[in-house]
Structure 1
């Protein structure tokens, strides 16, 4: 068996999580329509006043992925825009990010001990594996989970099975 690479431990996880994020956003959009509410009731919602809204959470999760691909996956830096105002635009952004992940080449990923300065807040020096373990994955899942929590707090009927995707977890393939 060949050693597990940074690609193996990240790309499938991120694709799966983004697919699930898209599904819970669709449930949110459907819920808003069924309740006779505008999309803004969810898109502009926050967990707390000093936190960013749902749109920002999706933008940050996807920006974390594209920055990861730049730092670790050998990809060119891509500007995703950060200007989404509708569910459709958020779905498109997630699709573009999944496309970047699916297009990533395992052979372009740096070795685990490669060192670089990452565009975090503030800029920090990491090894590739340290970046993945202590910044990229936690930051991605913070924003992913916050998006889920916003929907849940507003009354959207989503649960753990929606977050994980248990309906097809055994059959799912990258």
Structure 2
């Protein structure tokens, strides 16, 4: 956060590098899950459909939501169109492709578009409600927390399933 009231936050630096690091880590984690499944003779769909509780979304959906949140953060704060992805991934390869496509999109958003986004008004429309934010409130109170909720849940599902992961995998290099 800014050290003084007069110091502005760099919304690009507060979002894009953080999201890119986590997406890159998630690609590595996904690769470890795929290798583990192969070594242990665990069916791909078993891993992709794994969940921590019966009423939660499966691993594959967690990856899709990580992707959606990353795209949303970059697009909304970078003032560009948010691409829509089909959410139809059914294999490790398709999830890898989804994550790479998301990384490529986030990297493509020009830093200049983030200028002034901390005070930009953002409106998110969901089937049950509409949420209004300034850019900074969105990033710190919704965008990043929601992104990391699904990132952490994906990691936890794999750990719970037996994939040998640790904190260094989650945090990355």
Question: Same fold by TM (over 0.5)?
Answer: yes
Corresponding residue for 1:79?
84
Matches within 5 A, 1:1-174: 3-111=8-116, 112-119=118-125, 122-165=129-172, 169=173
Give, in whole Å, the separation in 2 of the partners of 1:9 and 1:72.
11
**Structure 1 position 68, deviation (Å):** 1.9
Matched residue SS, 2:41: coil
**Structure 1 position 79, deviation (Å):** 1.0
**Structure 1 position 3, deviation (Å):** 4.9
TM superposition score normalised by structure 1: 0.90
Q: Paired residues, what number?
A: 165
Give, in whole Å, the separation in 1 of the partners of 2:17 and 2:113.
16
Matched residue SS, 2:64: helix
Q: Given that residues 75 and 109 in structure 2 are in contact (C-alpha distance below 8 angstroms), is that contact kept between their aligned partners in structure 1?
A: no
Matched residue SS, 2:133: strand
Q: Given that residues 64 and 136 in structure 1 are in contact (C-alpha distance below 8 angstroms), is that contact kept between their aligned partners in structure 2?
A: yes
Corresponding residue for 2:4?
none
Q: Given that residues 119 and 134 in structure 2 are in contact (C-alpha distance below 8 angstroms), is that contact kept between their aligned partners in structure 1?
A: yes
**Structure 1 position 57, deviation (Å):** 0.2
Further displaced range: 55-64 or 110-119: 110-119
RMSD across aligned positions (CA): 1.4
Show CA shifts across 1:75-134 (max 9, x none).
Answer: 212011100000100010000110011111111115211112124563200000000000
